[in-house]
Chains A and B, each alone.
Chain A
């Protein structure tokens, strides 16, 4: 049977691309005239649908899972455009199905925003879900962190096969206790690395005061991140520890590699017999950060790191993972919807590590909130310029000959990338 909606949706997609439009409109068109499109299309996949959700690291983790599965010869459908909403998935599907509505793929790996994941899993129950973390982020959207945990729990409950959980995040690990039908797998951290992952609950606890308890006894994890070196990492699975090179930087990214590995092993089958671990590890070692999630560029022959910061834990990890020594530093804070509107979170980050070198340039719609925050941590501030373009130009000019680092919120990162593309070659947005 031919579905009229698909040719129409594809047409809308072409037209809206020609006009430089976003991915949501064609998805909306198909959804309106053919609400069963997405469920019908995804239900034909032999390995089903895997959903990746959580506060931090969804995009990079989804990318890792896709590359791991592709290394095993699977054809993977994913929502690459970064539209992490149901409509974006429908739009992405339109780009991939043939005119009869058939999707040529073995499995779908989808990044889903916590809030939209619920609508999505109600209409398309996934076979696999990977739940990364629940952190203080965008509370102005979801209200409360406990609420976010409930949304993830709903995703887990709707999963028909395997649920992969972060053993080290109490709000995520606790979800296991609510599941009866599903197979549960964990990814975990070596105890020696736990201290590099401050959780939100002990963020303001003074030295010596008790840290909220996680699970009384840690369940065994399918994959455990044991050690992180300058450009290597040790993962333990199937009772052995393997060392692999890593292009990803930052402990939190590499922890998400353990998450991706666990999910990929679940989909391909764990154990030595099924997944080919040599190719899995090679693929893992080659993963680069997803677009807009922190990357290294070159400006005037010097490295320039973009570090995405969108919540207090992320900012603290960013400061810890990228020591300030020898770098010129800029911070760009916007308060648009995608950044989070509430500036309170800046007060939960400690900036002492920037005190020695100071911060050369501040920008963004909340540049003066950032300046005020740094003043109270006695961090010297160079210049403050809320407009991104002149601020970036001044930063690049005045830090000539030095490696540079920019900590930025999401929309500030997009603006900086746009401006940088006028100065240097950067990856182009699809």
Chain B
């Protein structure tokens, strides 16, 4: 796909691998850390404007029904209720391809039916139960495999199973016929819920025809665009703000129905309106990682993988897209014959939302399990088998070269660190009689090269401090900190002298904080803006100091020439409020080179075959993501990804009751995210070689990579330890015991 990008100016030379950098690449404490730990950091949930009203949403109790009539008269009669919105009184408001936020046919338990605005949340909540809805209940199906079954109710006129994507290279059929070894497995993954600590929500307020929305979002500009489409406002009339944010993991990519509810009520009533979801709503109606059913066949001949066929079915709820699990199968290994076929399956459950490496986490589990099964079948060490297909510097899909690929380095570092040479077929003895110990590993492929457009400005103040403005947002990952580092590095000032202004659509555009895009998209623009500011400063300094421009440089907050140091404040002293404004934009990516990130995780587990308990003792996570801007933040990112993957691998599972369509695990007690005690030792390592082809900072994204291979590595370690492969995540004691019972 051709990319069009409008850019200004020229790019800077990328910082070389041996460039001496004083701030970038060194551990930096979070610039917002103190605000967060002292409670001063303001999140969307904290926004309480004077006179704020509270909106709550009435949700369908049926998995599928037609809304025939809504009687809100009793709700409206309740003291403190200010308004009710439902499908019969709400203007058309475009939302994700539909023209209304209140569907005629509600399609899952939790689908939006009506909303109430009231003086307090409690009144709004009480009013919900006074709304009388006449439903015509329709046949439904919530389970992925039941939805695939032709005998189940069809919930869409095109059927429940829709083709999503088909890919083929080489001749898979021929290679299967010619293979020495063929393995085939059916793999299942469960629906994972994001459970961002801050639930989805928005606060809307109008000042005349100016709309301001505070939203917990990964993309303030995406929310602005959504509001423009829904409310038909000029962009100049919409401002979206997101100061601090309590996680999104992909699920907060644009507006929600709650945003539109808040904006409509705020306009109609003339008061600020806050609409935030509670934990249960979050877990039924705010997105999820699709459950999948995957079939993988893999063929080997003469010690090599010759063909892989991967077919997948994903429970997308009602979504119009699928998080294709076959991406890693197509691109991770240099295998000549590949067939990949993804299906989107509709059910009457809450729709998927992007979830940290959507598709890749699920797909990597199936693919990497199958590779291990093939290695076992061929009698080859699974890491050795992967090595034979991991060294190629050409992307097998596009046939173009990678800008940088150090996957084999990741293998070397990880194997050494975990002690891979100890691995034995059939596992090792555990720490007590009866326990089994296993080692497993898996590889990671993801993009992460970033993208234009992104723009930044750097205002250099007369005292030598600076303000960076860029319309990105810090979703909890440390974006503010890496912006400050890159700006300070390029400008030659102390990182504490940089204030980072983000989370505001009145700042220059930046892309969504998702898909591991952020660092590689925005830091090159920040660097150019800082460079522009530095050059303007040097122009001024040259005049003020009467020294040739070429002899000057900025270092440690001072203009330096031949040993003489003039603090920036001194340079500007007589110029009053002269302000340098540097501008920078993200330059296009090279169009004949592929930018990817790679990595490998190694896991050591202990399994108790008599109780089904799996204990992950250690995960070694090695990533090849270009330059590491802040080792501290990068490490946090990897630890978080591994922990989220361990939840997916061992304990997290949305359970839906088939007859009623209700999510039985909508609370944090029943939906089991890992606790501190479940977290193993996580060893984080980076190849840390800058990708100087990718962009002028040499960094790539690290949001997705650490969640991608961990579950697969654990599953492979469990299979190694037990001698029995469990092809269904999460690996709860029940699944382990059932699998062992079936195997014996």
Do the two shown chains form a genuine complex with each other? no
User: Which chain B residues have a beta carbon within 8 Å of chain A's beta carbons?
Assistant: none
